[in-house]
Amino acid sequence: MRFAFAVFAIFAAVALPSVAVAQAPPVTGPLAYAQALDLATSRNLNIAAARRQRAIRESAIRTARQIPNPDVSLELTQDDPNQTVNLDVPIELGGKRARRIELAQAELTLADLDVQAELRAVRRDLRQTFYTLIAADERVRLAESLLDISRRVHDAAQSRFETGAAPRLEVLQADLGVTRAEADLALARATRVAAQATLNAVLNQPPQSPLIVTGSLSDHVAPIEYEQALAAATISNVDLVALDRQIDIEARRLELLRAERTPTPVFSAGGLFNSPGEFSSASRIAVSVGVPLFSRNQGEIAGSIATTAQLRARRDATRRTIENEVYGIVARIDAERRHVEAFEQRLVPTATNLEALAEESYRAGRTSVLALLDAQRSLRDLRREALQAALDLQTSIAELEEILGTTLP
C-alpha cells in the first residue's frame, strides 16, 4: 500500500505541472478577430507541439559537429612482446564536417515550416469558427426578432377574433407560428453553444468557457486582385516554400556525398613493451588510407540528383495548381461578396418592408393572416440565406488565406 501511494505521489508530482502548463487563462471581455488570432497563435497546442520540433532538429546540428572518436587498443599476450598499445586517430579531410553541419543547418529550417504549416491550419480554423460563432449570434438575434413578430401577429389575431373580425382559424395559425419561432430560437441557442465550444478548442480553452465575440460577417471582404494574391502565394505558400527548402537541402546533401568520396586517413601510433631479448620496448607510427577504387558514392549521388529533379518537377506542378486555385477562389470571393451586398442592400430591406406592410394591412383587416405569415416566412428565409452567404464568404477567405500562407490585409 505504501509503495502504491509513493508511485501515485511521484506520478502526480511529474504529471500535474504539465497539466498546469497546458491550461490557459480564460478569455475575458469581448473578443475581436485580431485578438482571437493572437491568442490562437500563442496558445494553440498544435502550434506549441510544432515549435518543439526545432529542438529535435537542433540536436542534429550537434551531432553533425561531432569529431570522430579515436580508437585505443591494448593487447596482452604470452609471446614476445608481451604488451602492445595502439592509438588510431581518423582525420576527416575534404570539408566533410563542414558539409555535414551545413546540411543539418539547412534541415533546421524545416522546423520553421512545421510551425508555419500549423499556423496555416490554425488561421483557417480560427476564421471559420470565429465567424461561425458570429453567425450563430446573428441567428439567435434573428430568431428572437421573428419570435417577437410572431407574438405580435398572435396578439393581433386574438384581438381581431375577440371582436369578431377574424375566425378562430387565424388564431390557431398565428399560434402555430409562435410555436415554430420558439423552436427555432431554442435550436439557434443550442447551435450557438456548439459553435462556442468549437472556437474554444482553437483557443485552447474548456468547451464551456463563455465567449463574447465582436465584429461582423462582412469584415475583411475588400476586393482582392488575382495578381496580388498570386504574388503573395508565390512568396509565402507553405508548400512552395517547403519544396524550395527541400531542393536546397538536397543540394547540400549532394555536396556532402561528393565530399565523402575523399578518403579519411587514420593515423596510428603504438608501442611494444616488456619484450625481453634484443629490446625491451619500441614505438610504431603508421598511416592507413582507404583507396576509393570501387565505391565512390555513385549510387547515392545519382539518387540525390534524381531527387532534386523530382522536387523541381513537383514545385512546378504545385505552382500551377496554386495559380488555378487562387484564380478560382478569387473569382468565387468576388461573386460571393456581390451576393452578400445584394442581400444587405436590396433583398433583406425589401423583405423587411413587405413584412411590415403585411402586418399593418392585417391589423387594418385588409389581408388575411396567411398573407402575413407568408411575408414573415419570406423575411425569415431571406435573412437566413443572407447569413449563410456571408458565412460562405468568410469560408472562402479562409481557404484563400490557407493557400497564400498568410493573413489577408
Grouped pLDDT means (10 residues each) for the chain, 409 residues = 38 37 66 90 87 86 89 78 82 87 89 88 92 94 90 86 83 88 94 94 90 86 85 91 93 91 87 64 80 85 94 95 94 92 92 89 82 86 92 93 86
With 0-12 / 13-18 / 19 or more C-beta atoms within 10 angstroms meaning exposed / middle / buried, residue 73 is: exposed
Alpha carbon 99 to its chain's center: 33
On whether the CB atoms of residues 259 and 95 are closer than 8 A, the answer is: yes
Relative to beta strand 266-273, strand 71-76 is unpaired
On whether the CB atoms of residues 112 and 242 are closer than 8 A, the answer is: no
CA distance 157 to 367: 12
Place of cell 475575458: 28
The torsion region of residue 95 among left (phi > 0), alpha (psi -120 to 50) and beta comes to: left
* Cβ count near 129 (within 10 Å): 23
Question: Which pLDDT value is given to residue 278?
Answer: 55
Tell me the residue length of the chain.
Answer: 409
Question: Which pLDDT value is given to residue 79?
Answer: 66
CA distance 354 to 374: 10
Question: Which pLDDT value is given to residue 16?
Answer: 35
Question: Which pLDDT value is given to residue 269?
Answer: 86
- pTM for the model: 0.77
Q: Is the dihedral of CA 389, 393, 398, 399 positive or negative?
A: positive
